[in-house]
Structure 1
Amino acid sequence: MERIITKVALFGLGKVGALVAVMLGEAGFTVVGYDTSPRTDLGFDVEPLDVRDGDGLRESLSGVDAVVSCLPFHLNIDVAEAAHDAKVHYFDLTEDVPTTNRVIELAAGNPAAAFAPQCGLAPGLIGIVGASIAKTFDEVRSIELKVGALPQNPTGLLGYAINWSPEGVVNEYLNDCEVVRSGHRQMVPAMTEKERVLIGGIEFEAALTSGGLGTMCATYEGSVRRLDYKTLRYPGHFDQMHFLFDELNLRDQREVVGRMMIDAKPPVDDDVVYVHAAVEGMKHGAPLRENFVRGYKPLTISGRAWRAISWTTAASVVGVVELVADGVLPQTGFIRQEDIGLDQLLSTRTGRHFAEQGHLA
């Protein structure tokens, strides 16, 4: 079957975007990149573009079949609206609820293309894993999802490194979290319901954080008693963040906290991404709790070592692009992450990395 997507416009060539471009190329797509300034070090065409230039943005989509946005969340709506107007397929990594709601609206009014936001780790991969496990149960009582992007060799009281967006970290710690409790959707404060977690003999703590579930609460409301997403950290981390936000009264100074954290805890190359999904319910007539636990470490791709957070995020979105291009996923309308099968993702050229990596001894 001939692919419906062959040429992809990629917006944003930062920590993840550059690897998304590499993986798209490895998967057989032609890539044209757009960033705020031209680059010549990536092996494909990169043009300068400010996505706030509506005319330039729409012109950039002429002649492509799809767009992948790796931009900060507040710029994605502009790209999604341009994709809608150009009738090209749209993919992004956003955790932002208003952005996703706008993408849903656009998808409803554009039967000519598929719209698949939230294609990162959380939301994204973790929802695919959790939903795929849940589909094998006769009756599901709870779905508990956790992800932690951490240094392998933590130092200090925070035990952390900012390998992702500092703004994104601060937002997930402060924005209220959507969960399902007793079968109903509700909003609860972030950094609450802390619990102890052991993975491969290493102790972690997990607490509720915002944005990781995407559309799952709406999907599973009324059919499960409990659904939540928590972030994994080394023990003591959340106490330190409560001190920072509450005792030092910095909840209303998010930009200040973001700058402080990136200065105090800069990125590390020896990172690890833990993915932990657990489903409880009835299977084959008996109660069961089924776990999916992985620890993904840095990986060499196309001759270059990439951080775990970079390749796991990039592989998630590129795998979904492959599934739409090959007709495995719908080619029109809104695509929820929980409607994507883990086996489908693992069958793609890019998604195979998740099958080959991450197994705990």
Structure 2
Amino acid sequence: MVTRSIETVAVIGLGKVGELVASLLARAGFEVIGFDAVERPCADFETRLLDVVDGQAIRSGLSDADAVVACLPYHLNIAVAEAAYDAGVHYFDLTEDVPTTERVVELSAVRPESVFVPQCGLAPGFIGIVGASVAATFTTTRSIELKVGALPQNPTGLLGYAFNWSAEGVVNEYLNDCEVLRGGRRQMVPALAEKERVVIGGIELEAALTSGGLGTMCRTYEGHVQRLDYKTLRYPGHFRQMHFLFDELNLRDDRALIGRILLDAKPPVNDDIVYLHVAVEGVKDGQPFRENFVRGYLPMDIDGRRWRAISWTTAASAVGVVELVAEGVLPHTGCVHQEDIRFSDLLATRSGALFAAAS
């Protein structure tokens, strides 16, 4: 039996995704301590109360752990990363926020004896793992196009959306500038630009640039790939309505208000679907080629409980990465980027195997 470098994992934030992250970790054989600001008793793992804005309380909570997975709104993650740095424990998170990730990378550079693995969710995270793994099969790569949409299966209204993910995070993605590669060089471009039509399984969607979905991929592929971008998938007409909200109603500068309005108007649903669309172009087997990886992931029953598609795809990717670090497949020091992870390795983990089961 392989000795793991990680035995006890703290999960901070037991919300829509965090609870399943903790459950999958326990299912994969880790000892788990779940922390939240409110009581959330669970039969699968120990739970404790924690003030997530109290840095010293976080440091105390990590004293019994080998690693921590932060499942919090993006603006709370830096405090957890810095606590992990001080406590000398391995750090994982689900953030899409670029400044948060930059801080995590800085911490990894000055504490090389721990591993820091930011952006382990769906996008960034799983989408980057798939995209990089497809690109690795090409002799030369011209472009990598990544798209993800977490949507209701049965949309209603002009927005055609439901906030199964953090409304705060979605607004952040819609308003922050996006890093892309154009002509092989990194550029910053406005979010919600470069809209295009996409059809998956006969379902018509639209896609537009949004922030954060590429993680660190632009730096990794700069000078090697001519074009790289990440777009969010929505039902037709969605982005037009968002432009109306942000610009015609002059709400662009009040993100908190926008988040409250949208969450109230489009609350979560159980019948969601997560669309993934990866397209890589280049030279393969001596010929010009375009390879597509397209999936639609539905809600899944795990150990007798049904989980939304956005919850299990995010959690399975994150926990699969923890498994890979613990088992020595990935480094247990320094900073690990999502594009460093092979899709085949992720599928070989107990949690990552959920993707194969759903395909």
Q: TM-score range by the shorter chain?
A: over 0.9
Q: Distance in 2 between matches of 1:53 and 1:171?
A: 24
- Measured in 2, the distance between the counterparts of 1:32 and 1:2 equals 20
Q: Secondary structure at the match of 1:140?
A: strand
2:35 paired residue number = 34
Cα displacement (A) at 1:90: 0.5
**Residue aligned with 1:62, SS:** helix
Structure 1 residue 256: Cα displacement = 1.3
For structure 1, which segment, 312-321 or 54-63, has the greater mean C-alpha deviation from structure 2 after superposition?
Answer: 54-63
Counterpart for residue 88 of structure 1: 89
Deviation at 1:42, TM superposition (A): 4.5
Q: Does 1:191 align with 2:187?
A: no
Name 2:224's counterpart in structure 1: 223
Q: What is the aligned partner in structure 2 of residue 269 from structure 1?
A: 270
Structure 1 residue 140, shift from structure 2 partner: 0.3
Question: Which whole-Å deviations, capped at 9, do the CAs of 1:189-222 have from their partners, x for residues lacking one?
Answer: 1111000001001110000011100000111111
Contact 1:88–1:112, Cα closer than 8 Å, also in 2: no
Q: Which residue of 2 aligns with 1:13?
A: 14
| Kept after mapping to 2: 8 A contact 1:18/1:42 | no
Range 240-249 or range 180-189, more displaced: 240-249
Matched, 1:301 2:302: yes
For the residue of structure 1 that corresponds to 2:116, the secondary structure is strand
State the identity %.
71
Work out whether residues 123 and 211 of structure 1, in 8 Å CA contact, stay in contact via their aligned partners in 2: yes
Identify the residue that residue 146 of structure 1 maps to in structure 2. Answer: 147
1:326 equivalent to 2:344? Answer no
CA distance in 1, matches of 2:246, 2:56: 41
Question: Partners of 2:41 and 2:173 in 1: how far apart?
Answer: 35
2:178 is equivalent to residue 180 of structure 1: no
- SS of 1:228 mapped into structure 2: strand
Task: Read off the aligned partner of 1:320 and give its amino acid letter.
Answer: V
SS in 1 for 2:133: helix
Q: Aligned Cα RMSD in Å?
A: 0.9
Shift of 1:38: 2.7
Q: Deviations over 1:7-44 (max 9, x none)?
A: 10110000000000110011000101111123224432
| Deviation by residue 1:89-138 (Cα, 9 ceiling, x = unmatched) | 11000111111111111111112211101000110000000000111100
What SS does the aligned partner of 2:63 have?
coil
Q: What is the rounded CA distance, in whole Å, between the counterparts of 1:68 and 1:157 in structure 2?
A: 36
Gaps (5+ residues) in structure 1? none
2:5 maps to 1:4: yes
- SS of equivalent to 2:64: coil
1:150-299 superposed matches below 5 A: 150-299=151-300
| Structure 2: gaps (5+ residues) | none
Amino acid at match of 2:17: V
- Give the letter aligned to residue 317 of structure 1: A
Q: What is the distance in 2 between the residues matched to 1:214 and 1:93?
A: 11
CA distance in 1, matches of 2:28, 2:156: 38
CA distance in 2, matches of 1:223, 1:173: 28
Tell me, yes or no, if the aligned pair for 1:32 and 1:44 is still in contact at 8 Å.
Answer: yes
* Counterpart code for 1:203: E
TM-score (norm 2): 0.98
